[in-house]
A and B are shown apart, each in its own frame.
Chain A
Amino acid sequence: MIDLILTQTLNGLASASSLFLVASGLSIIFGVTRIVNFAHGSLYMLGAYLAWTLVTHFGPADALGFWGGVLLAAALTGLVGVVIEVLILRRIYQAPELFQLLATFGVVLMIQDIALGVWGAEDKLGPRAPGFKSFVVIFGNRFPTYELFLIAIGPIVLLILWLLFQKTRWGTLVRAATQDREMVGALGVNQRLLFTSVFAFGSMLAGLGGALQLPREAVTLHMDLAMISEAFVVVVVGGLGSVTGAYLAAILIGILHAFGILIFPKITLVLVFLVMAVVLVVKPYGLMGKAPVGHARSHGPAAPLMLPADGATKIAGLIALLILALAPLVTPDHILLTLTELVIFALFAASLHFMMGPGGMVSFGHAAYFGLGAYGAALAVKWLGAPMEPALLMAPFLAGIAGVVFGWFCVRLSGVYLAMLTLAFAQIAWATAFQSVDLTGGDNGILGVWPSAWAASKAAYYYLSLTICAGAVLLLRLTIFSPFGYGLRAGRDNALRAEAIGLDVVRLQWVAFVVAAFCAGMAGALFAFFKGSVFPTYMAIPRSVDALLMVLLGGVQTVAGPIVGAFAYAGLHEQLMKATMYWRFVLGLSIVVLVVLFPRGLVGTALMLRERRRRREKPAAALAEASR
């Protein structure tokens, strides 16, 4: 038994090293540029693929060929990072917080198709590393020497990073920028160069992490997304921007994995998220992270004031609603199906926007409530034999109750920590649905959740969805401009001052969280009856990301943004999927282009342009008046 424990510890340490390389890069990039780099997993995958090509080309048997190939692959990945930073990210640093996430997600999609096109669909198994091909016997078990090498790499890289950050000017600047980047800029440091170099360095670490996996794991097209969520967990558990924290967290996660499979072989998927939830509840800024200095939302432009719609906008909204209401009279059935889906997604996006925009709480796990709504409906039908109407009524309460519980923990955090805690809860909810095969059917889902006879026709179900969704969106809108909404926005903009005038910010946020969860649950329940079946994918990470993309694309600080964003993103997604097999590349490219063209989101940029034109017209009118 003792030998097993010791060997598993070594196994955990070996996995921890590659995790640490990727996570440290992610952490450094976030610390300096405040970019949540979704594409970091893709860079890891690129590093592995490039290493495979280079090592095979140089000759895997030759030590120089192998290690040269690995290092060159890491350097090339760093170059790819430079290209991404210079071409895309540099143009949108001034955009609102988290907006860059959209761009990096576009990059993820593009790299997926590029990798498929360049390297093909088949998995690649790399050669073993020269000098580390065999094993040694430790504690009576064979242990691969390459794993020992990996165990050593972790502390070595940590030491190099420490020296780099403590002993060089560049490192000092990086640390300074992590603390307060405006101040670093004010002191005359070339921020552009700093940002580019940091992004390249972080990318290189990801590439190295991928390249070093070559003798250990097959290179596959799924490496990117498998790595990214885990790397995020490590960064957050360790504390954002803390490299030492990332190392500790990587070891914690690695060892947990190794022992988790001995004790709970079926919950490996969710174990890391459980740990993250516990760490964040106990230590809100991770193991080694510090509370941010000064004001939490100091970077990026201040959020523009959200104003109630003026006459013209109201009329435009009314016309849009009228068009939607009249659509079934003229459109064929299949367009109606698409519209139903878009309308449901609009409510889903609006519910996320309610907590993100006025609430200032970003959620990476909003799909949990969408999924719980869907499961609520499906379970009511399957286990209680309920018809559609009561199931639709009951379902959002399941999501709302989950919102009450999860929200209580989440609103005590802020920023990315809050977002990651929502993700942790979403993963826990997902894993519960996935594993409770007897109750939920596991990944085979619950089938036969079809609407009642009167709503079975496509037009009837469309009207049902439109009524519920439009009603809920309007209510959310009213709430934003109610005293509650103003209080929420006050808490977002300056929690201290809001508290000082007697607002209970935490409670306001908690209520907003629950409302958002309830509305998402409503959308989920409608979606369940629309599709006729419910699966754990409804609350998986991609669905949360979809919601986030819709809100960001439309513009966080606008009220109409999420609706426009939902129609734009989901509509584009659907059309592209039909039009081309390379839809991921085209969708990714479209996202990147939209992000660069509309750095405040579609609606946000439109509003800004209108505001600018108004200001320009006003002085001109005044001048004309005077000259008369």
Chain B
Amino acid sequence: MTIDRRSFLAAASAGATVLAAPSVLRAQGAAIRIGEINSYTAQPAFLKPYRQAWELAIEQANAAGGVLGRKLETVFRDDGGKPEDAVRHAGDLVNAEKVDIVAGGFLSNVGLAIADFAAQNKRLYLASEPLSDALVWAKGNPYTFRLRCSTYMQAAMLVEEAAKLPAKKWAIVAPNYEYGQSAVKWFKELLKRAKPDVEFVAEQFPALGRIDAGATVQALEASKPDAIFNVTFAGDLTNFVRQGNTRGLFEGRTVVSMLTGEPEYLDPLGAETPVGWIVTGYPHAEITTPEHVKFVEAYKAKYNDYPRLGSVVGYDTVQSIRAAIAKAGAVENDKLIAAFKGLSFPGLFGPITYRASDHQSTMGAYVGKTAVKGGKGVMIDWRYADGANYLPSDAEAKAMRPAG
């Protein structure tokens, strides 16, 4: 069973009526509590919009009468980017705050730490953002589900485009940690499979947040590649792009780039945005599905700002929790876990399903090209790549999981 988004969004737009007569719609019984752990102070660029949209979604849910007649309530916790602090919060949320669901996570190692806590304590954990493939595969467990499309899925989306290019010699630049390493591993493996004659002529692994951009650009230039696969993001990406632009690294070369189309990383580039990169991202101003338009309107009305990708992840996390509770008809841990298996709900990008086989959702991403319009970076020629098409089959996925 899925809940009808339109009906509650309609109710949300009638918020004034709700506020005028709160007693009529006041939820029965105590609020359903969600414990949310994230690296708010360490990764504010992604997580501030995330939290804003989360709060918007909760507000809308409660305005529509809550779930099962009960209001939703969130306890936010900041892990400061440290997995050990995240584990402490998880224990505290479960034992002291008596939350019904634990959710959140941005960094992969934080997500894995909470997931392991969840497995040990047999508690449901909904990982919203961590991209690590290990979360649902190599270290997957029966209690953890993940919303965001993973490193593997995004790499697969880009390989599809990369394989169409005439380029034979590829150079790679990726941040030196698990996300960068996995992205490179999958990209190479999948591209080789699709086009056996490609070769990889240079690899650069700058430390995360510490790229020596000039020297890195020079090292890539020296290998004279036909195309470049980039995994750097945030400040590293900005520095890489500026040095690459000045030094002409991108001229006559196609760049295929992970996450660069996300407003979090595209917007700081401004007029400096390189043109024609093939990227995954989120063209927020151009998506015209009714759900998304309504969401953008509500978000702008509340925060006087446009949503980032973080906002979509935060919003859809709450929506999937709502849907799961409605499907389970209860908030008991076991029932919720059962409900999440195969749960479908209408996400902002399109319908999303949590696969029963590996607990990964089918949330996708937009694949397109970068361009500059009016001094700002935008995505053009984009299409929505549904996550369901970029996942290994249920049997393959199950084989990668230790149990459950």
Q: Interface of A with B (CB < 8 Å)? A: 4, 7-8, 11-12, 14-15, 112-113, 116, 121-125, 134-135, 141-144, 147, 216-218, 220-222, 226, 257-258, 261-262, 265-266, 268-269, 332-335, 337-338, 341, 434, 437, 442-445, 447-448, 450, 527, 531-533, 535, 537-538, 542, 574, 577-578, 581, 583-584
Contact = CB atoms under 8 A, between A and B. Distances in A.
Contacts of B76: 581
B49 to A, nearest CB: 9
Nearest to B112: A444
Given A334-B91, A577-B80, A4 B214 contact: no
A124 B242 CA distance: 13
Which residue, A123, A124, A535, A577, has most C-beta atoms of chain B within 10 A? Answer: A123
B92 A337 contact: yes
A527 B212 contact: no
Nearest to B41: A584
Contacts of A116: 41, 44
A495 B99 CA distance: 58
Nearest to B81: A537
A166 to B, nearest CB: 33
A125 B375 CA distance: 13
Contacts of B82: 537, 542
Interface stretch (B8-16, B19-27, B233-241): B233-241
Interface in B85-103: 85, 87-89, 91-92, 95-96
A151 B88 CA distance: 48
A450 B177 CA distance: 25
Which residue, B82, B84, B89, B242, has most C-beta atoms of chain A within 10 A? Answer: B84
B176 interface: yes
Contact of B96 (A257, A332, A583): A332
A334 B90 CA distance: 10
Contact of A444 (B89, B178, B203, B209): B178
Contact of B242 (A125, A221, A533): A125
Nearest 3 CB-CB pairings of A with B: A121-B44, A334-B96, A218-B238
A121 B45 contact: yes
Contact of A535 (B84, B207, B239): B84
Interface string B262-279: 001001111010000000
Given A265-B206, A445-B109, 6 more contacts: A8-B215, A116-B41, A334-B96, A442-B181, A443-B177, A535-B84
Given A265-B204, A537-B83, A222 B209 contact: yes
A432 B247 CA distance: 34
Q: Mostly helix, strand, loop or mixed at chain B's interface? A: helix
A337 B117 CA distance: 14
A341 B77 CA distance: 18
Contacts of B92: 334, 337-338, 578
Contacts of A123: 45, 234-235, 238, 268
18 contacts: A7-B218, A11-B214, A15-B214, A125-B272, A144-B243, A216-B242, A217-B213, A217-B238, A218-B242, A258-B212, A261-B212, A266-B205, A269-B176, A434-B177, A442-B177, A447-B115, A574-B88, A583-B41
A447 B116 contact: yes
Given A123-B268, A261-B212, A333-B95, A448 B116 contact: yes
Contact of B109 (A11, A12, A537, A581): A537
Given A4-B222, A11-B218, A443 B109 contact: yes
Contacts of A538: 84
A257 B211 CA distance: 10
A136 B82 CA distance: 44
Interface string B104-120: 00001100110111011
A334 B73 CA distance: 20
B246 interface: yes
A445 B112 contact: yes
A8 B218 contact: yes
B248 A142 contact: yes
B215 A11 contact: yes
Contacts of B219: 4, 8, 261-262, 265
B106 to A, nearest CB: 13
A141 B95 contact: no
B78 interface: yes
Contact of B120 (A261, A434, A444, A532): A532
Contacts of B119: 448
Contacts of B242: 125, 216-218
A203 B206 CA distance: 29
Interface of B: 40-41, 44-45, 47-48, 76-78, 80, 82-85, 87-89, 91-92, 95-96, 108-109, 112-113, 115-117, 119-120, 132, 134, 139, 176-178, 181, 203-207, 209-210, 212-216, 218-219, 221-222, 234-235, 238-239, 242-243, 246-248, 264, 267-270, 272
Contacts of A577: 77-78, 80, 85
A420 B124 CA distance: 44
Contacts of B134: 444
Contacts of A12: 215
A147 B235 CA distance: 19
A578 B221 CA distance: 48
A4 B108 contact: no
B268 A124 contact: yes
B204 A122 contact: no
B247 A141 contact: yes
A444 B268 contact: no
B247 A135 contact: yes
A51 B261 CA distance: 28
A122 B87 CA distance: 28
Contacts of B83: 445, 531, 533, 535, 537
A265 B120 contact: no
A533 B108 CA distance: 13
Contact of B268 (A218, A262, A527, A581): A218
A491 to B, nearest CB: 36
A124 to B, nearest CB: 7
B84 A537 contact: yes
Given A125-B272, A334-B91, A583-B41, A258 B215 contact: yes
A21 B85 CA distance: 36
A581 B269 contact: no
A83 B216 CA distance: 39
Contacts of B120: 448, 450, 532
Contacts of A121: 44-45, 47-48
Nearest to A259: B215
Contacts of B209: 220, 222, 226
Which residue, A262, A444, A577, has most C-beta atoms of chain B within 10 A? Answer: A444
Nearest to A144: B246
Contacts of A217: 213, 235, 238-239, 242
Contacts of A335: 96
B302 to A, nearest CB: 18
B260 to A, nearest CB: 13
A268 B247 contact: no
Contacts of A135: 246-248
B85 A447 contact: no
Nearest to A434: B177
A122 B45 contact: yes
A445 B96 contact: no
Nearest to B236: A218
Contacts of B132: 444
B87 A143 contact: no
A447 B45 contact: no
A473 B269 CA distance: 53
Nearest to B84: A531
B48 A218 contact: no
Contacts of B116: 447-448, 532-533
B269 A125 contact: yes
A111 to B, nearest CB: 13
A532 B214 contact: no
Contacts of B206: 261, 265, 268
A444 B214 contact: no
A218 B235 contact: yes
B214 A122 contact: no
